[in-house]
Structure 1
Amino acid sequence: MNRTTPSHSLNSAPDDGTSGRDSPWLVFLVFLRLGLTSFGGPIAHLGYFRDEFVTRRRWLTERSYADLVALCQFLPGPASSQVGMALGLSRSGYRGALAAWVGFTLPSAIAMILFALGVSRYGDVIPPGTLHGLKVVAVAVVAQAVWGMGRNLCPDALRVTFMTIAACVVLLVPSAWGQVGVIVVAGITGLLLFKPMQAVAHDPLPVMVSRRAGGVWLVLFFALLIGLPVLTGLFPGQVLAMVDAFYRAGSLVFGGGHVVLPLLQSEVVPSGWVSNEVFLAGYGAAQAVPGPLFTFASFLGASMAIGPSGWVGGMICLLAIFAPSFLLVAGALPFWESLRRSVHTQAALAGVNAAVVGLLLSALYQPVWTSAIHQPQDFGLALVALVALMVWRLPPWLVVMGGGAAGWFLSVVW
């Protein structure tokens, strides 16, 4: 293929003329570089991916990439990681999907586990104000996410109403199953109330997974989702409980990385696995590392007060929270071509997306706001951090570092 000719499918050659386009090693190296440099959250990650795979390497067309992003936003889980898995899957099969995930995820996972070990072993050395500053920055980060998602996903009065009702219900029923119930009801209600227009023309998405194999992956996804809680009840144990909790979080979170916050908090804090202070400090620190926000799970696993912790606990939780993403991507890709044209799917998704914003709005209040904003200076620091993110457009890692330093300074002055 001529280098200057854009591809028209996910399986066409890169424009650099290399012969290793199907090599999992090449896929790993490309995604490792992205995993080391992709700051800014899932929306920014999708921008990095577009520049790398549409503009530079021409692994797929603009329209094909938009279709792929649409699929991964439709599925629960971290959209940017799922796009990476799908690209790796289409380039080099299952080994390519694994290579893409490892390359993109490993840098931030290692950083989060090291941070957890530092907090647990040297927490007394770290000034208390520094950790509190990280918690305050988390307020600004979640507020920015609520605002951005609300503008995109709640453009009319009906969806704003969905968002408001979802937030109120989750605040009144603060449990993982309450959040799941809100999402299910929002999908059914959206199916009844919304009438989106038919999808526009698009490029097909050739994939290396048959419909039969896709069906097997989807069956396995639902079998684990239903079976893990049953197994945990029959054979109580911390490891199985951790796998169940984090697998369920990865299976039921719509809307990207920030939305996992309330679901994980309801799993690990009330049970005593991780203290709320450590939880929010880790969430704040997660904004300062590149790669997917779901690697926050590795921090929580490494910080466990019960059962395995450290590197073992971190890897258990990391694998458990990302496993649903792989199963869903491999299972849904073969069926997406017909599914994406369904107006019923689009209507249900409109309701689900509005409810997701409500879930994140409830998390902004509880636990993020109530655990971090206690004094006027806390509110002031959160406000400055929010302006730094939304108006000054500073990178999140710089805002996090500044928040930690400001928290220490305020603890000394006051």
Structure 2
Amino acid sequence: MKSSTAALPDTVTDRPQGTPGEVFLTFLKLGLTSFGGPIAHLGYFRNELVTRRNWINEEGYADLVTLCQFLPGPASSQVGFALGLLRGGFRGAVAAWAGFTLPSALLLVAFAMAATAFGGPVGNGLLHGLKIVAVAVVAQAVWGMARNLAPDKERASIALAAVLIVVFVSSAFGQIVAIMAGALMGMLFCRGEISSDSHHFSFGVPRWIGVSCLLIFFGLLGLLPLAVNIIGSQGISLFDAFYRSGALVFGGGHVVLPLLKAEAVNTGWVNADTFLAGYGAAQAVPGPLFTFAAYLGTVMGPSPNGVAGAAIALVGIFLPGLLLLIGTLPFWDDFRRHSLAQAALRGASAAVVGILGAALYDPVWTSAILRSYDFALALIGFVLLAAWRAPPWVVVLMMGAGGIGLSFI
């Protein structure tokens, strides 16, 4: 069985295509098992779609992650959407987004309707075990990506520089600076590595569609507030609030929470206790943290709320990031073909390794490894993933059970 990605075809036209059903089932499994936040999600994606299924090679995956880190919105969901697009066209992209997003969204809607907390020793132990599995997943991703994307002293140094930038500029802006610095250092120090046979991936997005999506993105960003003032519809206000939250956040994940708090709590739509209860529940479910919007849309006081509110909020918060991604991909295809761009991407990819390494410590390690028992459990998970090649969902179940066990020690 082939284990190397080096023999993968260089263009998407050479690559066997999948059906939307295949894409949906693949991402449904990821949506049910990907705990730990956006950085951990990228590790799950890499393990399942790069290493196991060979949908894309290591370099192409790193390029895609780099692009999505640059764009506002939920980076892991954008990467998943693009991989679905690569595998199954636009229907595959929608299938990927639905498969990855719906499990956590439905769980949070159910939690909002049940209005019950998930606590006690068993519940707290399970949550802690899911944090520990994120340590193992991210550690495996850092290990594998470092070997492929930072194999020499130049790129290893770029990765180290990215770690330092992220540590000293502790915000989503620090990630953007790190990637930009990595791209610049790549142009200076990685030009000797350029190959005329560099891989290319065409996502099949025509330029006119890309331009149309960019126009829609900026049009909605400017026109929705006007529509709220003119029409005064609560449904439009709800969509506008979540659309702006998704459009203006870099880094995704927890970074969007202050924006959501301003839109939902400060407006009086949700009280602070209800907001925090939902945030706690969002930590217990797999998939993207942006699905917290579904919970907020369900519990809001003004109508529309319930299932209708959840749907409006969910589409509103994800739509801007996906529009930007589709709008950028046609130009990204051309950009990355140039030799200087390839050098920049080598440096930026090494920077992504550094960013992932920094995230392995904070917040993944610092929130999960509190005792020596936690470290031992995380090490077991890492060995299962890296040495035994155990499926991630099996490791998730084992670490969840292990966390429950540790709660009684």
Same structural fold, with TM-score higher than 0.5 when normalized by the shorter chain: yes
Rounded to whole Å, the distance in 2 between the matches of 1:204 and 1:356 is 19
Structure 1 residues 274 and 267: alpha-carbon distance in aligned structure 2, compared to 1, 3 A threshold: farther
Counterpart in the other structure of 1:42? 45
Contact 2:129-2:400 within 8 A present in 1 as well = yes
Matches within 5 A, 1:260-279: 263-268=252-257, 278=280
1:123-175 per-residue CA deviation (whole Å, 9 max, x = no partner) reads 13653111111111111111111111211211111111111121122122211
What is the CA-CA distance between 1:202 and the residue it aligns to? 7.6
Aligned partner (choices 76, 95, 101) of residue 103 of structure 1 = 95
Contact 2:205-2:326 within 8 A present in 1 as well = no
Rounded to whole Å, the distance in 2 between the matches of 1:320 and 1:190 is 34
What is the CA-CA distance between 1:303 and the residue it aligns to? 5.2
Rounded to whole Å, the distance in 2 between the matches of 1:305 and 1:316 is 5
1:61-117 per-residue CA deviation (whole Å, 9 max, x = no partner) reads x9xx9998787466325444313224544xxxxxxx1x3233223233222124434
Rounded to whole Å, the distance in 1 between the matches of 2:59 and 2:139 is 28
Counterpart in the other structure of 2:85? 85
Q: Secondary structure at the match of 1:127?
A: helix
Q: Cα RMSD between the aligned structures?
A: 4.4
Matches within 5 A, 1:182-193: 182-193=178-189
Counterpart in the other structure of 2:119? 124
Contact 1:274-1:303 within 8 A present in 2 as well = no
Structure 1 residues 264 and 67: alpha-carbon distance in aligned structure 2, compared to 1, 3 A threshold: closer
Q: TM-score normalised to the size of structure 1?
A: 0.67
Q: Secondary structure at the match of 1:75?
A: helix
Equivalent AA in structure 1 for residue 325 of structure 2: L
Structure 1 residues 35 and 315: alpha-carbon distance in aligned structure 2, compared to 1, 3 A threshold: farther
Query: Does 2:400 correspond to 1:397?
Result: no
1:151-200 per-residue CA deviation (whole Å, 9 max, x = no partner) reads 12111111111111211221222111222222222222322332132431
Rounded to whole Å, the distance in 2 between the matches of 1:306 and 1:207 is 36
Query: Does 2:290 correspond to 1:297?
Result: yes
What is the CA-CA distance between 1:345 and the residue it aligns to? 1.0
Contact 2:12-2:201 within 8 A present in 1 as well = no
Structure 1 residues 193 and 75: alpha-carbon distance in aligned structure 2, compared to 1, 3 A threshold: same
Contact 2:296-2:310 within 8 A present in 1 as well = yes
Rounded to whole Å, the distance in 2 between the matches of 1:204 and 1:359 is 24
Rounded to whole Å, the distance in 2 between the matches of 1:275 and 1:49 is 37
Query: Does 2:346 correspond to 1:350?
Result: yes
Rounded to whole Å, the distance in 2 between the matches of 1:36 and 1:305 is 23
What is the CA-CA distance between 1:354 and the residue it aligns to? 1.2
Aligned partner (choices 148, 151, 172) of residue 152 of structure 1 = 148
Rounded to whole Å, the distance in 2 between the matches of 1:264 and 1:380 is 27
Query: Does 2:337 correspond to 1:341?
Result: yes
Structure 1 residues 224 and 148: alpha-carbon distance in aligned structure 2, compared to 1, 3 A threshold: farther
Structure 1 residues 213 and 363: alpha-carbon distance in aligned structure 2, compared to 1, 3 A threshold: same
Structure 1 residues 367 and 194: alpha-carbon distance in aligned structure 2, compared to 1, 3 A threshold: same
Matches within 5 A, 1:20-35: 28-35=20-27
How many aligned residue pairs are there?
347
Rounded to whole Å, the distance in 1 between the matches of 2:367 and 2:59 is 39
Contact 2:385-2:391 within 8 A present in 1 as well = yes
Rounded to whole Å, the distance in 1 between the matches of 2:11 and 2:190 is 32
Query: Does 2:377 correspond to 1:381?
Result: yes
Rounded to whole Å, the distance in 1 between the matches of 2:166 and 2:277 is 21
Rounded to whole Å, the distance in 1 between the matches of 2:131 and 2:200 is 44
- Unpaired runs of at least 5, structure 1: 1-7, 16-25, 52-61, 90-96, 253-259, 287-292
Equivalent AA in structure 2 for residue 84 of structure 1: G
Q: TM-score normalised to the size of structure 2?
A: 0.68
Rounded to whole Å, the distance in 1 between the matches of 2:199 and 2:386 is 33
Equivalent AA in structure 1 for residue 23 of structure 2: F
Counterpart in the other structure of 1:4? none
Rounded to whole Å, the distance in 1 between the matches of 2:201 and 2:162 is 35
Contact 1:301-1:317 within 8 A present in 2 as well = yes
Counterpart in the other structure of 1:332? 329
Q: Secondary structure at the match of 2:84?
A: helix
- Unpaired runs of at least 5, structure 2: 1-9, 34-42, 69-74, 230-236, 262-271
Structure 1 residues 329 and 306: alpha-carbon distance in aligned structure 2, compared to 1, 3 A threshold: closer
Equivalent AA in structure 1 for residue 255 of structure 2: S
Counterpart in the other structure of 1:22? none
Structure 1 residues 71 and 399: alpha-carbon distance in aligned structure 2, compared to 1, 3 A threshold: closer
Equivalent AA in structure 2 for residue 197 of structure 1: I
